[in-house]
């Protein structure tokens, strides 16, 4: 990678990291926090966790479209400011529906597609997988750090303090955009690309199904995992070491699939990662009462999750036509956050009415359906054709 490409990749990864740290840190502590406060039910917990994803899903495509036409950075400034405002609303909220309203506002800062599109603008195609791997690896590292630090921050500043911290981190991300991210002119279409053509592209559709399932399953799991750990005998204040072990080991295990010889065999590695994620869910369902079993299941799941989280945006940026990168990544990010909302909300409803094992059964079934849908994907080794596939 050139120095410009490396600078772009690292600075864009830091924007993801600053924004997502506060989002991830809520996952392992929010359910237990809500259990001790009046007015909360499991359904409302699921809605609060997933509400962020709903507005993200609605707005990713408009933000991506706007960035194609008016530049990436102005859209990033606006989105990060809205996200910060929503974080502060959550920090001040006293009742469930106020927290949900703040989460909706957080989600209105829908910049993921714009960041991915800007990474594509600033890197050559031959280096784009490396750039996306840097971004994906940063997300994985932030995921690990947030889960480790969550119990400590909850004990010291509480969940409202975590929301306030998230707002300040978003403001810091605005400074990164201004001073660290290189400038790039938005790619204006050389020829018109119909939006429906982006939606109908076969390879992009498979990848969109994948990101929906991956994030729906992730959110549903964290409706049930914190309580499972408590029921297995581990106090909430000690959950950090489980997350440290699971996410850290999963991160190490995913490295050969990203940087080793296997990295050139995109299709095989990708399909294997989906199958391994399904295995992790199955092990979790079989070992819900065992702390050791839960830990093993989470290590398996996060090894696969980290691979898929790194590869999916890289594959989308390569499959998308250059003149519609923002629109294609907007659809991708919208579907991702729709999965976030659906997984959290459905996980809360299913857990409340049918129990944790039913949640895991649905997650396993969805992952297996994803594997079937992805089976006919292309190799993604050669450069994609200029136009959209039909």
Higher pLDDT, 42 or 381: 42
Q: Is the pLDDT of residue 166 over 90?
A: yes
CA distances from 58 to 81, 97, 170, 341 (A): 18, 20, 20, 11
Residues 6+ apart with CB under 8 A from 378: 203, 267
Cβ atoms < 10 Å from Cβ of 185: 8
Tokens of 343: 């997984």
Could you give phi then psi for residue 94, rounded to 5 degrees? -115, -20
Query: Which pLDDT belongs to residue 90?
Result: 94
**DSSP, res 181:** S
Query: Which pLDDT belongs to residue 385?
Result: 40
What span, in angstroms and rounded, lies between the C-alpha atoms of 30 and 331? 29
Query: Mean pLDDT lowest for which of 75-89, 95-109, 239-253, 350-364?
Result: 239-253
Q: Please say whether the beta carbons of 91 and 161 come within 8 A.
A: yes
What span, in angstroms and rounded, lies between the C-alpha atoms of 119 and 184? 10
Query: Which pLDDT belongs to residue 372?
Result: 93
Higher pLDDT, 71 or 143: 71
What span, in angstroms and rounded, lies between the C-alpha atoms of 95 and 226? 22
Q: Is the pLDDT of residue 111 over 70?
A: yes
Tokens of 336: 């991702």
Using one digit for the tens of pLDDT, what is the confidence trace for 194-218? 666 677 777 888 899 999 999 999 9
Tokens of 296: 């093993």
What span, in angstroms and rounded, lies between the C-alpha atoms of 209 and 339? 9
Give me the domains of the chain, ranges plus CATH numbers.
Answer: 3-182+195-374 (1.20.1250.20)
Using one digit for the tens of pLDDT, what is the confidence trace for 262-282? 555 778 888 999 999 999 999
Distance between terminal CA atoms of the chain?
33
Mean pLDDT of the chain: 83
Q: Is the pLDDT of residue 137 over 80?
A: no
């Amino acid at each position: 990678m050139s120095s410009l490409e490396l600078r772009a990749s690292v600075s864009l990864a830091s924007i993801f990291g600053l924004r997502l740290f506060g989002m991830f840190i809520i996952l392992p502590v929010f359910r237990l926090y809500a259990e001790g406060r009046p007015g909360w039910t499991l359904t409302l917990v699921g809605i609060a966790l997933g509400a962020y994803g709903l507005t993200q899903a609605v707005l990713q495509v408009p933000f991506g479209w706007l960035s194609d036409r008016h530049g990436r950075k102005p859209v990033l400034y606006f989105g990060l400011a809205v996200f910060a405002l929503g974080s502060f609303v959550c920090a001040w909220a006293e009742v469930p529906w106020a927290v949900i309203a703040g989460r909706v506002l957080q989600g209105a800062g829908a910049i993921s597609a714009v960041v991915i599109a800007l990474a594509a603008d600033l890197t050559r195609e031959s280096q784009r997988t490396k750039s996306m791997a840097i971004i994906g690896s940063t997300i994985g590292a932030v995921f690990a750090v947030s889960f480790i630090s969550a119990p400590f921050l909850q004990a010291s500043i509480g969940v409202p303090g975590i929301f306030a911290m998230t707002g300040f981190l978003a403001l810091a991300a605005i400074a990164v955009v201004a001073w660290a991210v290189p400038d790039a002119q938005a790619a204006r279409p050389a020829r018109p690309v119909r939006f429906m053509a982006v939606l109908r592209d076969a390879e992009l559709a498979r990848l969109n199904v994948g990101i929906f399932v991956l994030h729906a399953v992730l959110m549903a799991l964290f409706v049930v995992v914190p309580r499972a750990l408590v029921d297995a005998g581990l106090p909430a204040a000690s959950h950090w070491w489980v997350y440290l072990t699971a996410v850290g080991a999963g991160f190490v295990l995913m490295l050969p699939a990203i940087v080793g010889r296997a990295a050139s065999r995109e299709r095989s590695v990708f399909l294997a990662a989906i199958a391994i994620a399904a295995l992790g869910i199955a092990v979790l369902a079989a070992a819900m009462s065992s702390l050791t079993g839960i830990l093993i299941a989470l290590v398996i799941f996060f090894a696969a999750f980290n691979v898929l989280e790194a590869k999916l945006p890289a594959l989308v940026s390569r499959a998308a036509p250059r003149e519609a990168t923002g629109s294609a990544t907007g659809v991708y990010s919208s579907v991702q956050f729709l999965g976030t909302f659906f997984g959290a909300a459905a996980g809360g409803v299913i857990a409340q009415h049918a129990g944790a094992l039913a949640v895991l059964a649905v997650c396993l079934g969805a992952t297996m359906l994803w594997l079937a849908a992805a089976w006919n994907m292309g190799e993604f080794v050669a450069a994609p054709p200029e136009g959209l596939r039909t």
